[in-house]
Amino acid sequence: RFNDDWIFRNLNYTFASGTAYVILGANGSGKSTLLQLIAGSALPSSGNISYSNGHDIDPGSAYRHIGFCAPYLDLLEEYTLAEQLRFHQGLRKFKSGLEEKKITGLCGLEHSANKQLKYFSSGMKQRVRLALAILSDTPALLLDEPLSNLDAEGVEWYKGLIAEHTTGRLVIVCSNHYRSEFGFCTEEIRMENYKR
């Protein structure tokens, strides 16, 4: 809810592990708000959200189980890429076998490992955000408009990363209908269905 207006209502949904979902809707339809609620970074006006991974998960620690990428999430601009990766590793471990050098290579940013993030282009920053989320060893992955700021090469890079690193995970993508963002998703939620 925003002031007196409901952004969406009556959403009762179970997201299952191993399934990829897309949340579709126009700008301002509540996609990002829903994703933030699922991530635990916002609280619902009514109702509740529960988390389970074979056992109940305390909502206060749910973030440890979720990789989250959105173009509005800030990186630590004063950090170098290498420092950002080490900082992230302290919050969420990366998938097995992925160390700093390998991750910078997977991002296509191996020559920028010691460069401060404030000097990265918007597309380079989005690659870093996506890598931090997708390559984290988390059972759930939330992606809000993941192709923001990516060029054609970046789109192909994203598709490859998704194909290689999302098997068996819960994946939820918010999109404005760009098929390249969610072509791998098998379930669809339309925000317009929850406006009543």
**pLDDT tens-digit readout, 57-110:** 777 777 788 999 999 899 999 999 999 999 999 988 999 999 999 999 999 999
Say how far apart CA 77 and CA 83 lie, in whole Å: 10
Element (H, E) at 187: strand 187-190
Q: Are 29 and 190 in contact (CB under 8 A)?
A: no
Predicted TM-score of the model (pTM): 0.89
Which pLDDT tens digit goes with each residue over 104-154?
999 999 999 999 999 999 999 999 999 999 999 999 999 999 999 999 999
- For the chain, the domains span 20-194
Q: Are 75 and 95 in contact (CB under 8 A)?
A: no
Could you please state the CATH topology (level 3) that the domain comprising 20-194 is classified under.
Answer: Rossmann fold (3.40.50)
